[in-house]
Structure 1
Amino acid sequence: MHVQNYRDIKPDTHSRLRGKEIPSLEEGRKAFAALAYNEIPRATKVHKAWTVMLIERGIIDKGEGHEILKTLNRIDDKAIEEMIQSYDPNFYKWRVQFERYLMDKVGSIAGNINIGRTLPPPLYRMKLREAVVPLIQATLEFRQNLLDRAEEYRDAVMPGYTHNQHAQPMTFGHYLLGLYEAIDRAAVQLEQAYDVINICDLGCGALAGTSFNVDREKPARFLGFDRVMEHTNDCVASTDQATNVVPAMINLAIPMSRVANEMHWWATFEFNMIELTDAICEASSMMPQKKSPCVFEEIRCTLGKVLGCYSDIVCRAQNTLYGDTIEVYEASEYVPNTVADVIKAINTFNKVLNNLIVKKDIMLRHAQRGFSTATELAAFLFRETHLPLRVAHAIVGESVHEVWEKGGTATDINTDVVDRAAVQIIGKPLQLAPKGLARALDATHFVEAHKSQGAVAPKEVHRMVTRRRQNLKKAQDRHAKRCEALKAADQRLEDAVKKLIGG
């Protein structure tokens, strides 16, 4: 068959296949519609960047390239709706359905967008990038909130727990600053993951590159990537753009889940150290007395989703060929939804911090009664009597045992109790000054006295918060530059397109 105008040919993408099974019209249209509004704008940007390069390198005819660019420039929601309505089941993948639409507008020359490239790169990386950018922003806002609350509650004395038992007094501010530390390290890991994502794999051929004289650097700059991923098979085989993000999210979700669990207990009737405002609590359809802080449960659920994502993508990626496979594609596709779950959990935790009622008096009462100043009492005996620390430790342990067996609390420890314990351990009383003993047992004094680097003293917490505000500012500046670079790249691309086609 002789064809006068090759532009009128609109081949499907089945290539050598005959009798290819295709979805029904309605089934295919529904699947395409579910993806189109999210995927087409991203693909349009990539097609523009690649087409500009093809024109500038003289690889495609300038006039034909202009036609393609003009059509790409008209892609908006209305055009996407037109694609959906004109859906052709012979072009069953959304990327080739988009190409079919371009062919309807400019003819088969639209297929020249495929020169030197396979269609998926760099769409996976761009999609991951779009997910991770707001996640980094969420961690910045969360860290800011944690620092503000740590400063606010730096003198709110409470029990510190180890193995779910009173250990040493701390402050609620110091506790929240500990969560900040974990989130901050995870956020650094997340930034490193972003650096791995933001490498451009566009223009790698199918795996071997291309014989066309393409410039891979320029489209990468148009699309906001930091650099080109050189090795062409690595471009289609790599999974670390996805697998690096998930461990960072695990390290965000684990400390959030643990703190949410602990704070959930502290909000019970038995502890009553914190409460959430009515605004973010739930009522019961049956129990009229209920005020349930279910937000803690919502936060904890996120960890399961992240661990599920990690298990999924690692299992997909570990037993497949080192090349372009469905497993590689789905590893990248799976992650953005989990990123959205983590952002939601962070935003929920921010609501918790902003709706928190901290009952300082009850916190202090628990700290005073719960024997958590015992280590300072041992230190007091060491300083006052010059006993070896382990001997002082034994005397304090015996004192606590006596009071506990009688149903008492730490406030019942006095010089008589300590002297009886000393007689049992070293054979003689210590005859301590009552004021000194009372001071050693006081939780507020404990907190103020523990001012070593990183310790619980309010002044030390203030110093740490101040230092971390400086570090957070640097992270905020880095992210602002990241976002500005992406916006600048968008503008460079639009300017390049306008320069070629006018308007």
Structure 2
Amino acid sequence: MKENNKLWGGRFSSSSAKLLEEFNTSLPFDKRLYKQDIKCSKAHAKMLEKCEIINTKEKDLIINGLETIESLIDSGEFKFCISDEDIHMAVEKKLIELIGDSGKKLHTARSRNDQVAVDFRLFVLEQNKYIRSLLINLIETLINISQSHTDTIMPGMTHLQHAQPVNFAFILCAYVNMFMRDIHRLEDSYKQNNYCPLGSAALAGTPYNTDRFYTARELGFASPTLNAMDSVSDRDFALDFLYSLSVIVMHISRFAEELVLWSSSEFAFITLSDSYSTGSSIMPQKKNPDIPELLRGKSGRVYGNLISLLTTLKGLPLAYNKDTQEDKECVFDSLDTIDISLRILNDMLKEITINKQNMENACKMGHLTATDLADFLVQAVKIPFREAHHIVGKVVAYAESCNKDLSELTEDELCKVDSKIPQEAHKVLDIYTSMNSRNSYGGTSTASTQAQIQSIIAWLEIHKIGL
């Protein structure tokens, strides 16, 4: 029987079955981690030399060999072989092929358990910063649009029913606040997980006199992880990232639903660019909002990836288990989904047309200034709000009986509904007056919205740092 030629194959008397190699391998997807694997191996080699576990010549040979391998992979010349199992073994095997016995010393004082933990963690932290940069770009686009629409009036809704007049920038700033929270969530996750597991070895640490603080600094981590057994089995950093991506895609999906509604014939608040719309194979008149619909639909797969990893991890005993090989594809898939979703949403928004007149016309349906009239009666006539609410309800019923919106009633019509309504109450029925009366902190008035925009611009300058 053929001898086992794996780097770990010394205790095995026969080679691996072909089906085992297909089932066991992670190389088709974890080769994506090659840059992190090489970076972490170089840091490990430097630490081994610093601690006099290998000599300077060996360290230089290892680092030069790793840089050669990175160049080969970058250029597409590297030949990946499924029998190598994973990116770690593929790189190490090639290194030994290039530099001989010195390459065999690289794996001293480490295991694939801490190797994959540090590679994957470093990848997630790097992508954490990348996703934050995409969110920053999206927020900047939304703010650029908002600055031109702080007095573009439209109906604000609850229960998808007309409620009160707001401005378009105010609604965009609401979504900006969601994406700002997404950035805060990613920042918190980054700090929580910025610790280096390298040097934990298989599960119990190493008998070699190593310096884990050195490798942590070399790789940009805050410090090494505290417990070796936890370090090799921990995938909380991946769960945190998947949860953050799930919340981002939920926010994208909510915004996409607005875009679908706003671009419909019934609303016609916005027009999507032809560059970011599609047609029908049978109905030549159709212009479909496929991008917002797909953005809305992507949430399902991202949520599924989070649940998948939670389920994989839920029953694992300490320490490392092969089950955790299932941690990467779900992260890669969610990352790629959020990446293209944020980029195409950003590009699409830059080309939308805002139909201001249609938005204003919609404010003249649904009696949007009813609450303003009730508030006026409370403040000017000094009657309890619940009584004012009842009076305004009668005014709304009268307006509907006349097939009018509340804002279209004359002074005489308004006053004859109830004797407690003074003539000056009519002024509060104007939709622009209503919108601008809400000048409280965080409110929808033009002035308040402009203040929100300035606050967000200042926030952006702080949170761009380090990205």
Whether TM-score is above 0.5 comes out as yes
Q: CA deviation at 1:396?
A: 0.6
The 5 A counterparts of 1:367-446 are 367-422=363-418, 429-430=419-420, 432-433=422-423, 436-446=424-434
Q: CA deviation at 1:369?
A: 2.9
For residues 190-220 of structure 1, the C-alpha deviation after alignment (integer angstroms, 9 at most, x for no partner) is 1111223332110101111111000112222
Could you tell me which amino acid in structure 1 is paired with residue 12 of structure 2? Answer: L
Determine if contact 2:150/2:450 at 8 Å carries over to the other structure: yes
Q: CA deviation at 1:416?
A: 4.5
Could you tell me which amino acid in structure 2 is paired with residue 17 of structure 1? Answer: F
The 5 A counterparts of 1:174-213 are 174-213=170-209
For residues 113-156 of structure 1, the C-alpha deviation after alignment (integer angstroms, 9 at most, x for no partner) is 11111122311112212322210100111112222222221111
For residues 297-333 of structure 1, the C-alpha deviation after alignment (integer angstroms, 9 at most, x for no partner) is 1211222122111111111111111321233342245
Determine if contact 1:190/1:248 at 8 Å carries over to the other structure: yes
Could you tell me which amino acid in structure 2 is paired with residue 476 of structure 1? Answer: K
Instruction: Provide the aligned C-alpha RMSD in A.
Output: 2.6
Q: CA deviation at 1:33?
A: 6.5
Q: CA deviation at 1:419?
A: 4.1
Indicate whether 1:361 and 2:357 are aligned.
yes
The 5 A counterparts of 1:288-307 are 288-307=284-303
Deviates more, 1:205-214 or 1:340-349: 340-349
**1:228: which partner in 2?**
224
The 5 A counterparts of 1:74-473 are 74-78=68-72, 83-84=78-79, 87=81, 89=83, 91-119=84-112, 120-422=116-418, 429-430=419-420, 432-433=422-423, 436-473=424-461
Is the alpha carbon distance of 1:58 and 1:333 closer, same or farther for their aligned partners in structure 2, counting shifts above 3 Å? farther
Indicate whether 1:55 and 2:43 are aligned.
no
**1:13: which partner in 2?**
8
Q: CA deviation at 1:273?
A: 1.4
Is the alpha carbon distance of 1:131 and 1:167 closer, same or farther for their aligned partners in structure 2, counting shifts above 3 Å? same
For the residues of structure 2 that align with 1:33 and 1:208, how far apart are their CA atoms? 30
Q: CA deviation at 1:414?
A: 3.5
Structure 1: state its 5+ residue gaps.
Answer: 1-9, 423-428, 481-503
For the residues of structure 2 that align with 1:133 and 1:122, how far apart are their CA atoms? 17
**1:68: which partner in 2?**
62
Q: CA deviation at 1:468?
A: 1.7
State, as a whole percentage, how many aligned pairs show the same letter: 25
Q: CA deviation at 1:400?
A: 0.7
Could you tell me which amino acid in structure 2 is paired with residue 118 of structure 1? Answer: S
Aligned residues: 460
For the residues of structure 2 that align with 1:100 and 1:25, how far apart are their CA atoms? 20
For residues 44-99 of structure 1, the C-alpha deviation after alignment (integer angstroms, 9 at most, x for no partner) is 222211111111211124433333233223223436866517x483x444322322
For the residues of structure 1 that align with 2:221 and 2:369, how far apart are their CA atoms? 55
Structure 2: state its 5+ residue gaps.
Answer: none
For the residues of structure 1 that align with 2:217 and 2:345, how far apart are their CA atoms? 37
Determine if contact 1:179/1:255 at 8 Å carries over to the other structure: yes
Larger radius of gyration: 1
Q: CA deviation at 1:346?
A: 1.5
Could you tell me which amino acid in structure 2 is paired with residue 16 of structure 1? Answer: R
Is the alpha carbon distance of 1:250 and 1:191 closer, same or farther for their aligned partners in structure 2, counting shifts above 3 Å? same
